Structure 1
Amino acid sequence: MTRHALRNTLSLMLLLGAAGAALAGQAPGSSAAPDVPISHRDRLYAAEQFSNTVSVTDPADNRLLGVIRLGDPAPGNFSPLYRGQVLVHGMGFSPDHRTLAVVSIGSNSVSFIDTATNAVKHVTYVGRSPHEAFYTPDGKEVWVTVRGENYISVIDAATFQEKTRITVADGPGMQIFSPDGKYGYICSSFNPETAVVSVADHQIVGRVKQESPFCPNIAATPDGRQVWFTLKDIGKAQVFEARPPFRLIKTLETGPITNHVNFAHTAAGDFAYITVGGLNQVKVFRTDDFSQVATIPVGSLPHGIWPSGDGTRIYVGLENADQLTAIDTATNQVVANVPVGQAPQAIAYVPNAVPEGDGTQGLQPLGVAGQTTQLKLHGVVNGKPVATDHAPTSVTLFDQGLLQVLQASATGLQPKHAYVLALASRADGGGPLEPLAAFMTNPAGSAIVNAIGPIRQVVRDDAGAGARRYLVIAPSENGKPGAPVQVQAL
């Protein structure tokens, strides 16, 4: 065979791998499938819950192309006549790479988007507070975890209509499938149990005990041997065998606000990448001996994570930084950051999503979705904020016009303790406090805290005389705040 003929044959194999039913040799597909080199035909998507957008990035040059606007920011989405989506959050894609399934928690919907044109093809409404949606590997069904209830909504991928429900324990958090399409793995956000379901007949065939009730994310290794899931409340990840008897084989200490897990299949082996929101890090583990091989500092509150089609890059959504971060898997170094919409949650890398054309139809600029303010809170020593070695509490104010949605990634607090996020009139946190949100920390001493209001106008240095306020966190006893333990860094 001539060199020219060999090159054409290899190119054809790559195209067939991208366009056929089999995914590339990366999660969520099989490691036996051919990898797809990064190109301008690929797309990286992020679901952004406060701007209600889906950002679309060209990974070949790490360039944001625009956003698909599925809804309006607050307070426009409070109207009783509002018809858009609210809290755009979950994301999956079809095996042929032509359809994106985007879950909106607040409007109980799954939006099916054409990857080539960015057009919404259909919106299917399901039960209360769905979380994630993924296609079965044969492309015939879409399983949606309805976290506010006790079932998986099984949608016919051809008609977009619900065909059946799979009853599980209350609060199914997420589901993923074995690369061969035989099993679906469903972890729970409200009960300490992961269910294993036979895809062929929708019957539960196994159960795996979770060390805590709160699993936000689950993923299967491309070699079909393991399933990893994260436990956000206690800062751990667990691993079990992907085949019967589904034996639990490892529990890893990862850190506070452990979010998502995914894999890179490389020449050096298979590696699990885990986002740890409370530490602003991505931790990397081998899947053969579970040794930790890297700790990668990234931006504020890393959340969703996904590999490129060839495993050379891992992409991370930074929830409190409104960015996507690209990590080189050969060096485990950050090589690029891309601005996106507000509070990216799930992300997805889709190889060959745009077979022809520039794929920018229907995209809009970031606009208000790109307007945020970042703050930090530090511990208090002798009445002054002092930076410590561990990640500080990060706060982002997401502009919604006059108002902002505040989100704090609170860390370094006492486990299972009541606190209040408040405004103080003095930089040291002294004086009367104006409570914004009460919260309880999880067993890892962390929490995600939200509030809404015209907060940016009073917490910045340019606030008018007498109006300046400072964000603080104080313990709460009998509904009353005590002395602040964290104060806004100046």
Structure 2
Amino acid sequence: MTRTLRLAALLASVALPAFAGQAPAGSDAPDIPVSHHDRVYAAEQFSNTLSVIDPADNRLLGVLRLGDPAPGNLSPLYRGQLLVHGMGFSPDHRTLAVVSIGSNSVSFIDTATNAVKHVTYVGRSPHEAFFTPDGKEIWVTVRGENYVSVIDASTFEEKTRITVPAGPGMTIFSPDGQYGYVCSSFNPETVVISTADHGIVGRVKQDSPFCPNIAANPDGSQVWLTLKDTGRVMVFNAKPPFNVLHSMETGPITNHVNIVRNAHGSFAYITVGGRNEVQVYRTDDFSRVATIPVGALPHGLWPSGDGTRVYVGLENADAMVAIDTLTNTVIGSVPIGQAPQAVAYVPDAVPDGDGMQDLQPLGVAGQAAHLSLASTGSSTGSPMGSPMGSPMGSHVAAKNSTPAPTSVTLFDQGLIQVLQASVTGLEPKKPYVLAIASKADGSGTLEPLSSFTTNPAGSAIVNALGPIRQVVQGQAHEERRYLVVAPGTGAEHGAPVQVQAH
């Protein structure tokens, strides 16, 4: 009987595919079950903090303050970091690399103690950083310029620069360490670089210029990249000739992509910010298998060490949600700092101790107000979720059948707030203005806050700074006013096409 059972188990293991190894590791790496030794991190660009979560019980342990909120960071920035944004971690899971766009820096943090081991300053507006699979180098995409800064992982000093098309968005590596894949945020081209000699060995044409994020399959077969400007995702062959395998529309403000391998197969998880959802696709036939509502403006995401969960940062909700990948349902939500960008799940980040050193409570970093704008039914906008070029729905339809097209978060910075609006449902490549109106229906004189131009998907991320919450919530000494979006510029604009919902 025992021999029969062993034979049956052996045959089953041969017949069924075995999935192990989670990104960025290879498929031959062992899965690491979720435990109190793991950590989930979120880089938060308005509170300039790093939230630290214990995934075993989905509990916020505290935040590591890398810089100050406004208005302190509006003075000469002699200390601290500004616009904390990108993240990567070392293959031994002992070092976290945190990129701050506004201070042109990479902070190297000890995952076990939360201590900042070193800060390396690079060129204008770096975006993301990641370690090579052998752990010897960190490649930093310097998006404000035209190169990848290569940092020696032993000294944390820049050793060389790799010239690439202007505006590199992110680098990810093939699991075997042979290639680095660098997409562009300003040019419609991804380049493939040999890690051995830092030479470009392949080029992939992007469907559009703005790629913020890229991921490689653990089995070394595919590379996935997102296109935020057009709301698309592309997949190309991870090996020569690096040909495009698939391209598809996902939706406005498509942010990040990552790969999960679990008992059901291999899947790509994609955050679509303009639709407040995570979309899930098979990596074999590219079919969509799930759409998961998660909350306002999902941005970064990363799988657990065993692929059973995916953690997603909600940029306009100041929260991290956990998704069960076997059921594709949200199983937890954790309050975190302001406007999370990149997310990293680091298995066995704290092998000993509680890992609570240098962590502080959320404080003002956890304070925000949330609003939404609904369509007025004007022909210059369309309800979120409608296909490009489809007829404009009524104001009632926009409110009842689809979510409000624009979500707004007012992040408290003391007496003032940073406003961030995730705007969708507008005409593509057109000028608009975010403004304050004196009437609830948007009529009357408008007071412009910020002018912007929509991307090819008819969406945009819009920011402003000031005591806005007090005004739009009627807490100031003057009459309450209302947020609106109108076509045109601050100097000359039309009637609002989106107004603050009640």
TM-score using structure 2 length = 0.91
Conserved 8 A contact 2:433-2:489: no
Match of 2:139 in 1: 143
Is 2:357 aligned against 1:361? yes
Q: CA 1:477–1:366 in structure 2 vs 1: closer, same or farther (change >3 Å)?
A: closer
Q: Determine if the alignment matches structure 1 residue 127 to structure 2 residue 140.
A: no
SS, match of residue 364 in structure 2: helix
**Paired position in structure 1 for 2:385:** none
2: CA distance, partners of 1:299 / 1:476 = 30
* Cα contact 1:88–1:102 (8 A) shared by 2: yes
**Which residue of 327, 339, 346 maps to 2:323?**
327
Correspondence 1:185 to 2:198:
no
- Secondary structure of residue in 1 paired with 2:73: helix
Whole-Å Cα distance in 1 between the matches of residues 83 and 403 of structure 2? 27
1:81 offset after TM fit, Å?
5.0
Amino acid at match of 2:500: Q
SS class of match (1:468): coil
Matched ranges for 1:375-394 at <5 A: 375-381=371-377, 387-392=399-404, 393-394=406-407
What does residue 350 of structure 1 align with? 346
Kindly report which structure 2 residues correspond to 1:36-185, keeping only aligned pairs within 5 A, or say none.
36-80=32-76, 82-185=78-181
Task: Check the 8 A contact 1:303/1:318 in 2, yes or no.
Answer: yes
1:145-199 CA distance string (max 9 Å, x none)? 0000000000000000000000001000000000000000000000000000000
**Residue 455 (structure 1) aligned to one of 443, 468, 476:** 468
d(CA) in 2 for partners of 1:288 and 1:359? 39
Answering whether residue 445 of structure 2 is matched by residue 472 of structure 1, we say no
Partner of 2:384: none
Give the letter aligned to residue 391 of structure 1. Answer: P
Are 2:433 and 2:490, in contact at CA under 8 Å, matched by a contact in 1? no
Which amino acid counterpart does residue 293 of structure 1 have in structure 2?
A: V
Instruction: Find the aligned partners of 1:79 and 1:268 in 2 and give their Cα distance.
Output: 52
Please report how far the alpha carbon of residue 391 of structure 1 lies from its aligned counterpart in structure 2 after TM superposition.
Answer: 3.4
Identity in percent: 75
Counterpart-to-counterpart distance in 1, 2:400 and 2:444: 24
> CA offsets per residue over residues 59-90 of structure 1, 9 Å max, x none?
00000000010000011011125311000000
Alignment of 1:218-237 (within 5 A): 218-237=214-233
Which residue of structure 2 aligns with residue 413 of structure 1?
A: 426
Given that 1:391 and 1:411 are in contact with CA atoms closer than 8 Å, whether structure 2 keeps it comes out as no
Letter of the aligned partner of 2:422 in structure 1?
S
| 1:481 correspondence with 2:493 | yes
8 Å CA contact 1:378, 1:388 repeated in 2: no
Partner residue of 1:5?
A: none
SS of alignment partner, residue 369 of structure 1 = helix
Q: What's 1:277 paired with?
A: 273
- From 431, 440, 444, the equivalent of 1:427 is 440
Q: RMSD in angstroms over aligned alpha carbons?
A: 1.3
Which amino acid is the alignment partner of residue 94 of structure 2? R
Distance 1:397 1:197, change over 3 A: same
The CA deviation string for residues 351-379 of structure 1, in whole angstroms up to 9 with x for no partner, is 00000000000000001100000000001
Give 5+ residue unaligned stretches, structure 1: 1-23
* 1:333-392 Cα shifts (integer Å, max 9, x gaps): 000010000000000000000000000000000011000000000011499785153332
Identify which range, 135-144 or 260-269, moves more after superposition.
260-269
Which residue of structure 2 aligns with residue 307 of structure 1? 303
Read off the aligned partner of 2:407 and give its amino acid letter.
S
Tell me the distance in 2 between the aligned counterparts of 1:324 and 1:252: 27
Deviation at 1:267, TM superposition (A): 1.5
Contact 2:251 2:275 in 1 (8 A): yes
Deviations 1:439-464 (A, max 9, x none): 00011110000000000001114444
CA–CA distance in structure 2, aligned partners of residues 29 and 414 of structure 1: 41
Q: What TM-score, normalized by structure 1, do the two folds share?
A: 0.93
| 1:110 CA drift (Å) | 0.1
